[in-house]
Structure 1
Amino acid sequence: MEIILTGNDLTVEKVWAIAVEGARAEISREAEAKLEAARTLVYDLARDETPVYGFNRGVGWNKDRKIEADQIDDFNRKLIYSHSLGIAPEASEAEVRAVMAVRLNCLLQGNTGIQPAIARRYAEFLNAGIHPVIPERGSVGEADITLLSHIGLAMIGEGDVNYKGRRISSAEAHKLAGLEPVKLGPKDGLAIVCSNSFSAGQAALALKELKDLADTGEIVSALALEGLNGNTSPLDPSALAARKYRGQQYSAERIRKYLEGSYIYQPDPRRPLQDPLCYRGAAHINGTLRDAVRYAEEALLTQINSTDDNPCVLTEERRMISVSNFEVTSLSTAFELLAIVLSHVSRASCYRMIKLANPELTGLPRFLSHD
């Protein structure tokens, strides 16, 4: 499988295909042109004396320190060194692949000014199966700087990588794959580290699993309702239409489909008038997860198809300006919402299992065994 990256249409499913299923990542011609145009502007601005953060000036407290032309290569390399501060645990290979796919796609917006060869190196790493060892914990403030620095280390031939089932040095992996370590130029160091792609890559994988979980939740809810000989009235489409929540209506529709032809639609004098809340509200709670997933996916798709670099290169306006596009509150609060909703989903699931183990409710033997 091959995924063409344009910078504009990456999806959760495409990230999953690259990260988990091993799909190849390729850069579109249009995106290549954007990279080249932005890089040309970077070199033009390099001859200008206008101060730009992380470009011809330092970063952090050193933002007032001028970087001379003959210091640029050294500055960018040391920027990678000084931020490689992550600690264990280490990200899985699937997570690393997701992170690199997301970062590459965002670079293709053309707002970073990164050296095109470095952007291509993300795709080359993915396609060759070279996975930088990335610690999952560490920060010096905004964005995923200390984590992404370890990708930068690997790209310049330092640090460790996982390659074909072995942990080896990046330098050795480059030789085995027929690659040369990249040489950093103006803007490259900050372009590698100043991003939220680690968080976004993990988020994409989590969201794919949550979509699958929502599907499974409806299957389990339908089966549990049959096992209880429960009521289908909470699934009534007219009543749910009056409630108006999209997720609840969708979840109930799926559960009704699984229950088509079931005996529980037949009258039964032994059936209680109402079931326990964890059964009555199953579609409503799972529907809330559907709504939260939809909201989080909207925030995530914006994140992985836009730039979060500082400074931001505006090629058409021929400007490079300091920004706060790395601020990721919209995405993080969407996933905090998901965490809250999942606590309700898991609680309802636990209560349904407890109820199914109660012989007074099910009419089944204790522990499902006469002995």
Structure 2
Amino acid sequence: MIPKEPVVISQKELSIDELVSIARFDTPLIISNESKDIIQRSRDVVESFLFEEKTVYGITTGVGDNSTTKVKAEKSKHLQNNLLYSHASGVGNPLEKELVKAVMVMMIKNLSSGYSGIRLETVEALVNLINLDIVPKVPREGSPGYLIYQSHIALVLIGEGEAYFQGELLDGETALRKGGLTPLSLHEKEGLSLINGTVDMTAIGAIGVYDAINILKTSDVVSAISFEALKGTRYAFDKKVGNVKPHQGVKSTLSNLNTLISGSEIAEKYKDFRTQDALSIRAVPQVHGACKDTLNFVKQLVETEMNSSTDNPLIFPADNESISSANCHGESIAMSLDFLTIALSEIANISERRIFRLLSTEHSELPPFLVENSGINSGYMIPQYVAATLVSDNKRYAQPAVVDSIPTAAGQEDHISMGTSSALKLLNVIINTQRVLGIELMCGCQGLDFLKPLKTSSSLDYIYETVRAHVPKLSDDRILYNDIEKMERMIKNEMIVNHTESKVGTLSV
């Protein structure tokens, strides 16, 4: 295999695509020489504070409500390890490998900005974990927005905790040794810097945004197939509609839909079949478009946070100054991820309504539940139950986490973002929405079978054939959970979008 070009962590902006390429597709990373110099300059300032015995939060004092307690120089290094020990308190099942790697990437980016005062050796130790595929075991639950995930990761750097190496779960020291590494000895401020910042919610949020882009492109393709199967009236997709409601998302969805159905015999024959369609068909540009506008707003916020400095305290080498601030507060990310969760819930919601119409012969004029001999066959009746259940679950996940702040640290941290909860809810909705869209696509293709010999467009026919290569037409009842899983994988791994774009070019979001 040809080695992948490493992603360079530098003073330039890191993109969501670059983060995903490392976390999901195992692209290696390196730190630029410029960033190495900046990290060192920031560390020099911390060393000067120690020499001067200056009172600086987290360096010569305790943390949180212990910030009024002075810590002597000889105890400061001990404090760093204690911070990891005490804060590594997560519970529940472990995070997926790609999420842990994403958090580590964001830790490296945050620490490389030059405002943390951490040693270069420590940042490079994180780089080594990623490039050697040493993945710390990080419990999924219990993080209000920061501290806990990073603590479990940082434990492995000092030879503690647990990590996976080549798929085997080992204690931290053994995992390092098998990778040819040795445990770090943390210096002043390093434990605090390793566990601070908005990196966990931001990393997971970036993964969520990446998957949301795929979902929104997929939703246009899937809805176009349902439009065809339901003999939709294409006038509602006239571009003039977008000119008088010029939201960018509406216009991009109209463009996608018109491209996708271009050349369809079905769309041409049934263009005057109804005066107007139900809203789940007619309002695809307006609903999908609103979700795209939300996605683009959230994407901009997430990428801004990815390239922010969110440590506390912040070190400003040019001014030889340390400032204790609240850049570690994740309100921007928490609020935006709650917003994106709402948007993706709506994609699943309207998708399920189209499934319902496809299965209801009084709406679709197709055989009941999309199967012949419906008296002895249930067809796709029950997958609609599944979609309805997933949509109902999404409605609960769509309740915002950010408004539910509970004071911590004896009141020192009396307002927190709950941003990690926002991010984890988003992931749940992404999975559910992929499944709902998969069920819709399966049903839409079945609907097209009953309209033959009329043909859909060449691009949608290509997707139909792609689906049929994995899931055959349902003629008699069979076990369906395998089919649903196949459809989910085809959406999750971007097959539907990639195949479509190979025919029509890049879809708009």
Give 3-state SS (helix, strand or coil) of 2:319's partner.
coil
Which position in structure 2 is the counterpart of 1:170? 172
The answer to whether structure 1 residue 366 and structure 2 residue 378 are counterparts is no
**Which of the pair has the greater relative contact order for Cα pairs under 8 Å at 6+ separation?**
1
2:307 maps to which residue?
305
Which of 59, 65, 68 matches 1:55?
Answer: 59
Change (3 A) 1:365 1:267: closer
Is the 8 Å Cα contact of residues 18 and 25 (structure 1) preserved in structure 2? yes
Cα 1:74–1:239 shift into 2, 3 Å = same
Cα offset for 1:207?
1.1
1:4 aligns to what SS in structure 2? strand
* Residue 109 (structure 1) aligns with: 113
Aligned to 1:9: 13
Q: 1:131 to 1:116 in 2, by over 3 A?
A: same
Q: Distance in 1 between matches of 2:16 and 2:238?
A: 32
Say if 2:244 is the partner of 1:242.
Answer: yes
Residue 269 of structure 1 and its aligned partner are, at CA, apart by 8.0
Q: Measure the CA separation in 2 of the matches of 1:357 and 1:202.
A: 36
1-structure distance, mates of 2:284, 2:298: 21
Paired residue type of 2:26: G
Task: Note if 1:93 corresponds to 2:85.
Answer: no
Q: CA deviation at 1:49?
A: 3.3
Aligned-residue offset at 1:369: 3.3
- 1:137 & 1:368 partners in 2: Cα distance? 42
Superposed counterparts of 1:199-348, under 5 Å: 199-266=201-268, 268=270, 271-348=273-350
Normalised to the residue count of structure 2, the TM-score between the two structures is: 0.71
Matched residue, 2:129: 125
Match of 2:454 in 1: none
Q: Is the 8 A contact 2:301 2:336 kept in 1?
A: yes
Q: Which residue number in structure 2 is paired with residue 196 of structure 1?
A: 198
More displaced 10-residue stretch of structure 1: 43-52 or 33-42: 43-52
Structure 1, residues 181-201: CA drift from partner, whole Å, max 9, x if none? 111111101000112211111
Aligned residue pairs total: 369
The amino acid of 1:84's aligned partner reads A
Query: What letter matches 1:32 in structure 2?
Result: K
Amino acid at match of 1:138: G
Counterpart residue identity of residue 123, structure 1: V
1:45 is aligned to 2:49: yes
Map 1:140-151; keep pairs closer than 5 Å.
Answer: 143-151=145-153
Instruction: Please say which of residues 121-130 and 2-11 is displaced more in the overlay.
Output: 2-11
Paired with 2:93 and 2:76, the residues of 1 have a C-alpha distance of 33
**2:30 alignment counterpart:** 26
Deviation readout 1:98-128 (Å, 9 max, x if unpaired): 1101111111110001111111111100000
Whole-angstrom distance in 2 between the partners of 1:175 and 1:365? 63
- The DSSP-based 3-state class of the residue aligned with 2:30 is strand
- TM-superposed CA distance for 1:224, in Å, is 0.7
One-letter amino acid matched to 1:361: H
TM score, norm. by length of structure 1: 0.96
Contact 2:151/2:194 (8 A) holds in 1:
yes
Task: Report the Cα distance in structure 2 between the residues aligned to 1:267 and 1:86, rounded to whole angstroms.
Answer: 59
Range 277-286 or range 359-368, more displaced = 359-368
Amino acid at match of 1:11: S
2:493 matched residue in structure 1: none
Identical aligned residues as a percent? 26
Maintained 8 Å contact 2:232/2:271? no
AA at the equivalent of 2:12: N
| Residue identity in the other structure for 1:45 | F
1:341 offset after TM fit, Å? 1.6
Which residue does the alignment assign to 2:88? 84
Q: Which moved more, 1:257-266 or 1:51-60?
A: 257-266
Are the counterparts in 2 of residues 81 and 149 from structure 1 also a CA contact under 8 Å?
Answer: yes
- Closer, same or farther: CA 58–276 of 1 in aligned 2, 3 Å: same
Local SS of the residue matching 1:203:
helix
Q: Is the 8 A contact 1:13 1:208 kept in 2?
A: yes
After TM superposition, give the deviation of residue 248 of structure 1 in Å: 1.1
Summarize deviations over 1:265-287 as a string: whole Å, max 9, x none: 43548611000010011121111
Cα deviation code 1:325-353 (max 9, x no counterpart): 11111111111111112222111101101
For structure 2, the 5+ residue unaligned runs are: 374-509
Matching residue's letter, 1:249: K
Residue 89 of structure 1 aligns to a residue whose secondary structure is strand
Instruction: Provide runs of 4+ in structure 1 moved above 4 Å.
Output: 267-270
Instruction: Determine the C-alpha separation between the residues in 1 that align with 2:76 and 2:187.
Output: 6
What secondary structure does 1:266 align onto? helix
The residue type equivalent to 2:95 in the other structure is A
Letter in 2 for 1:44: S
> Residues 232 and 190 (structure 1 numbering): CA distance in 2 closer, same or farther, change over 3 Å?
same
Q: 1:352 to 1:183 in 2, by over 3 A?
A: same
Match of 1:356 among 352, 355, 358: 358
Cα pair 1:137 1:147 within 8 Å, conserved: no
Cα separation, 2, equivalents of 1:131 and 1:268: 55
Aligned to 2:40: 36
User: Is 1:161 the counterpart of 2:167 in the alignment?
Assistant: no
Residues 189 and 150 of structure 1: CA distance in aligned 2, closer, same or farther (over 3 Å): same
Q: 1:96 is aligned with what amino acid?
A: V
Check conservation: 1:99, 1:197, Cα contact below 8 A.
Answer: yes
CA contact (8 A) 1:8 1:306 kept: no
In structure 1, the gaps of 5 or more residues are: none
Aligned residue type for 1:29: N
Tell me the secondary structure at the aligned position of residue 316 of structure 1: helix
Q: Distance in 2 between matches of 1:157 and 1:238?
A: 63
CA drift at 1:311:
0.2
- Structure 1 residue 150, shift from structure 2 partner: 0.7
Could you list the per-position Cα deviations for residues 207-233 of structure 1 after superposition, in whole angstroms to 9, with x for gaps in the alignment? Answer: 111110011000001111111111112
2:63 is aligned with what amino acid? V
Give deviations 1:298-337, integer Å, cap 9, x for gaps. 1111111111111000111110111011111111111111
Measured on the aligned residues, the alpha-carbon RMSD in Å equals 1.4
SS at match of 2:318: coil
1:61 positional shift: 2.1
Q: CA, structure 1 residues 68+361, in 2 after alignment: closer, same or farther (shift >3 Å)?
A: same
One-letter identity of the residue aligned with 2:165? Y
